[in-house]
Amino acid sequence: MRTAACFSSLLLVAALYAQDMRIVSVDPTTAKVGDIVTVSGDSIDKKNVDTLYLTDGKTDIKVEVTEQSEKSIKFKVPESAKGKRWAVMVHTTKDQFIEEPVRVTIE
């Protein structure tokens, strides 16, 4: 019983944390290798998000973050992301991977 209660508490904390941290948009929605792309959201500063990725569900590409604040993260499009539509995924400082509901197409 005690284990189930602890597990339920952990799930609740993770769900509440995920609700506070979110990405709502990407600009531009189409970019080229080397371009700087901005994702916007809430609570996405270094205190909450330590790494940003592009993912297609099979391949995850870590991107170079050039600027980060509570409301936005700017990243440089890597060569390896060329020619696909990618979802944005964050790795949180709470060691969670969260695929966000925004997409960017890399030409």
- Residue 13's pLDDT is 46
DSSP reduced 3-state for 41:
strand
Tell me which residues of the chain have a pLDDT lower than 70. Answer: 1-19
Which residue's structure tokens are 């979110």? 22
Instruction: Tell how strand 49-55 and strand 60-62 pair up.
Output: antiparallel
Segment 50-70, tens digit of pLDDT: 999 999 999 999 999 999 999
- Residue 19's pLDDT is 53
- Residue 20's pLDDT is 82
In the structure encoding, which two tokens stand for residue 54, read together? 């592009």
Domains along the sequence of the chain with CATH: 2-106 (2.60.40.10)
* Alpha helix ranges (H) inside 1-107: 2-20
